[in-house]
Amino acid sequence: MKYLIITAIFFLSFSSNSFSIPKGNKATFDVIRKNKVIGTIETIFTKKDELLIIDTNVDVDVKIFFFPAYKFTQTTKETWLKNEFIEVEGHTNFEDEREYFITGRDTENNFIANGMDGELILDKNILPSNYLNKEILKQKKMFDTQKGIVRKIKVTKLDDEIIEINKKKIMTEKYLLNASTNPKDKGPFPQYTLWYAKNEELLKFKFTNWKDKKDIITQRNNWGG
């Protein structure tokens, strides 16, 4: 569970290692399981001089016969300076014994992070696991902002595909992303399928929960293309 017609749109575009920022500076998603919305993801982009602040909130709440069955929350604040990822703060709560407080900051030569495995000295150019940033697909490694660890990644480009959002058909670029598993993970890291609009905005992603084999689909609900 834990793992969550071409049309014109006005957006702000940064260069390398950057985001296509949606109209209104906000991207919101429904998290769907068995055709039911079980949660939301909201990302807000704030520009302050040369800084770009990206705040993401994930809230998943599963109920069975109206009784709470599972809850997952994550908050992440990324800071970018002139298109470079320089800082992150985050908190992830899996509603069991796993709760992580994540930090990371650029130094002169490295990115110093703290998370599940303690302090890590990482490559200064490492990117966070925010799939809104399509540049992540070009990387060999990513910084997992749920747990504060590094995962190796492999991305495969699939055939373009038309999907439907808000009763609009959209031609998208489709990818598969696989990532390495950490010994402390409770299960394998799931394979993600990701769909991007031609302006590089993330519209949808999907993975299969390894426990119950159910698909978890996360789809934009404020797409205005």
Question: What per-residue confidence (pLDDT) applies to 136?
Answer: 95
Tell me the domains of the chain and their CATH numbers.
12-220 (2.40.360)
Residue 117 has pLDDT above 50, yes or no: yes
Query: What is the spatial distance between Cα 142 and Cα 150, in angstroms, rounded to a whole number?
Result: 6
Length of the chain in terms of residues written: 225
The pLDDT value recorded for residue 68 is: 64
Provide long-range contacts, Cβ within 8 A and 24+ apart, for 177-184.
177/131, 177/137, 177/153, 178/153, 178/154, 179/142, 179/144, 179/151, 179/152, 179/153, 179/154, 180/151, 180/152, 180/153, 182/116, 182/117, 182/147, 182/149, 182/151, 184/116, 184/117, 184/147
Q: What pLDDT score does 62 carry?
A: 80
Give the residue from 75, 63, 9, 68 showing the smallest Cα distance to 33.
63
Enter the tokens of residue 88: 């992150």
- The CA distance from 113 to 24, in Å, is 31
Q: How many CB atoms lie within 10 A of CB 31?
A: 22
Q: Is the pTM of this model over 0.85?
A: yes
Element (H, E) at 162: strand 161-165
CB 142 within 8 A of CB 174: no
pLDDT surpassing 90 at residue 209: no
User: Average pLDDT, whole number, for the chain?
Assistant: 88
pLDDT at residue 5 is higher than 90: no
For 11-48, the pLDDT digits (tens) are: 333 333 457 888 899 999 999 999 999 999 999 999 99
Please write the tens of the pLDDT for every residue from 43-101.
999 999 999 999 999 999 887 776 666 788 999 999 999 889 999 999 999 866 679 99
Cβ atoms within 10 Å of 70's Cβ, excluding its own: 16
210 burial type by CB count under 10 A (0-12 exposed, 13-18 middle, 19+ buried): middle
